[in-house]
């Protein structure tokens, strides 16, 4: 009976480009400061590593990447929109029989379970089913949450860029066991310094951007005002540039008051985004000099004034009671007529009766 490693899995598209393994130059930085760049013949994605969750698995992965262990291997088993599996060294040989795919590079490490859940983008280790402490060098990437795997497989990383590619790989036609006829080749995996958080060190002048917000009702242009609230502008631009806001709905519409959006809940692409790692509470930047008048954009927060994260609101009217209590950071400079369009929408209390969302936001050049 052939070994079936992880009964839920994968494969992928494209031709069999067979790259020769080459030893990779070391990046002299701690595991927390680097990312693995997985180049496939269908594109590339990046993943960060969590040595605090699975130190031995991270150390093994880094060592093998630098040795070229994965170069020329493949993603060979998929669950559509579920996950993808790869890294078997046996697939570096194009003549390896299909009944042996998934049987190589196992039984190398003991389990390292942690509180890291198998959410979208999480990278975890393949082991031999029903055999504890049989973790190997193969790995899988979750496209959607895999709750049944929590506490059973050793998670050690998360995709930070390129989840669209991972999702695409998961959708490749496969047989009943999830094995594809043509694997997606791992051309090379390299270790690079992490991409810097966008706008982290930008000056005030570099923050004076204009953002184009395409919504269900039309397009607005927002002028950032870093002199009012520099760190709120920084956070807003960061999430705009990385596409975090795309597909998020306006969940609150209070006529003559505000249209509020920017929460990940019910995002059309799912609640998890690779830029979630850069979402953190913002310290309030209040000013009594900035008036919450029609067209002003300000950041929402909870009971704690230092709890703002992503949710913002467009002022549909004048509300002096908000002055000095919420951090205004931008203003509408084009598309004021859309504020009138918000006013005409039907609501149930303060909830829009139809879905109104941010289709796309981009920073104007």
Quote the pLDDT of residue 149: 97
63 and 183 inside one domain: yes
106 and 141 inside one domain: yes
State the average pLDDT over residues 283-287.
95
164 and 237 inside one domain: no
Q: Is the pLDDT of residue 243 over 60?
A: yes
**Range of the structural domain that residue 236 is part of:** 205-363
Can you give the CATH number for the domain in which 168 is found? 2.40.100.10
273 and 355 inside one domain: yes
169 and 212 inside one domain: no
352 or 267, which is more confident = 352
137 and 257 inside one domain: no
61 and 157 inside one domain: yes
Q: What is the pLDDT of residues 32-61, one digit of tens each?
A: 999 999 999 999 999 999 999 999 999 999
165 and 93 inside one domain: yes
The count of domains in the chain is 2
Domain boundary among 159, 193, 227: 193
163 and 286 inside one domain: no
Q: Which pair of tokens denotes residue 172?
A: 């490749």
The rounded distance, in Å, linking the Cα atoms of 213 and 361 is 5
344 and 266 inside one domain: yes
* Residue whose tokens read 């999702």: 167
Residue 49: Cβ within 10 Å count:
26
293 and 265 inside one domain: yes
State the average pLDDT over residues 210-228.
98
Q: What is the pLDDT of residues 57-116, one digit of tens each?
A: 999 999 999 999 999 999 999 999 999 999 999 999 999 999 999 999 999 999 999 999
Distances (CA, A) of 206 to 28, 236, 287: 31, 13, 22
Q: pLDDT exceeding 90 applies to what percent of the chain?
A: 84
Q: Which pair of tokens denotes residue 69?
A: 């262990």
329 and 291 inside one domain: yes
Quote the pLDDT of residue 95: 93
Average model confidence (pLDDT) for the chain? 91
Domain boundary among 151, 172, 193: 193
Out of 5-19, 174-188, 259-273, pick the least confident.
Answer: 5-19
3-state secondary structure of 60: helix
The rounded distance, in Å, linking the Cα atoms of 215 and 218 is 5
């Amino acid at each position: 009976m052939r070994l079936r490693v992880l009964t839920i899995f994968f494969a992928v598209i494209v031709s069999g480009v067979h790259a020769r393994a080459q030893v990779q130059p070391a990046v002299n930085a701690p595991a927390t400061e680097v990312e693995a760049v997985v180049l496939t013949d269908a594109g590339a994605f990046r993943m960060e590593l969590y040595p605090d969750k699975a130190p031995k698995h991270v150390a093994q992965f880094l060592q093998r990447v630098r040795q070229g262990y994965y170069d020329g291997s493949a993603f060979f088993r998929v669950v559509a929109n579920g996950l993808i599996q790869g890294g078997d060294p046996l697939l570096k040989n194009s003549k390896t029989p299909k009944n042996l795919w998934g049987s190589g590079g196992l039984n190398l490490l003991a389990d390292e379970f942690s509180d890291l859940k198998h959410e979208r983008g999480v990278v975890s280790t393949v082991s031999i089913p029903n055999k504890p402490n049989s973790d190997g060098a193969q790995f899988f990437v979750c496209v959607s949450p895999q709750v049944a795997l929590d506490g059973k497989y050793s998670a050690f990383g998360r995709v930070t860029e390129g989840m669209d590619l991972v999702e695409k790989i998961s959708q490749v036609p496969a047989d009943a066991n999830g094995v594809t006829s043509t694997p997606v080749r791992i051309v090379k995996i390299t270790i690079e310094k992490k991409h810097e958080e966008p706008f982290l060190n930008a000056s005030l002048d570099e923050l004076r951007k204009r953002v184009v917000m395409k919504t269900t009702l039309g397009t607005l242009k927002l002028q950032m005002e870093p002199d009012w609230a520099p760190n709120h502008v920084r956070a807003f631009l960061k999430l705009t540039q990385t596409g975090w806001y795309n597909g998020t709905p306006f969940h609150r519409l209070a006529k003559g008051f505000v249209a509020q959006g920017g929460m990940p809940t019910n995002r059309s692409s799912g609640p998890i985004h690779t830029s979630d790692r850069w979402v953190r509470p913002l310290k309030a930047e209040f000013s009594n000099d900035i008036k919450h008048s029609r067209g002003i954009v300000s950041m929402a927060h909870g009971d704690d004034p230092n709890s703002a994260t992503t949710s913002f609101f467009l002022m549909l009217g004048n509300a002096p009671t908000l002055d000095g209590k919420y951090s205004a950071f931008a203003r509408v400079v084009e598309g004021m007529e859309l504020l009138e369009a918000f006013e005409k929408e039907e609501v149930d209390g303060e909830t829009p009766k139809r879905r109104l969302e941010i289709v796309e936001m981009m920073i104007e050049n």
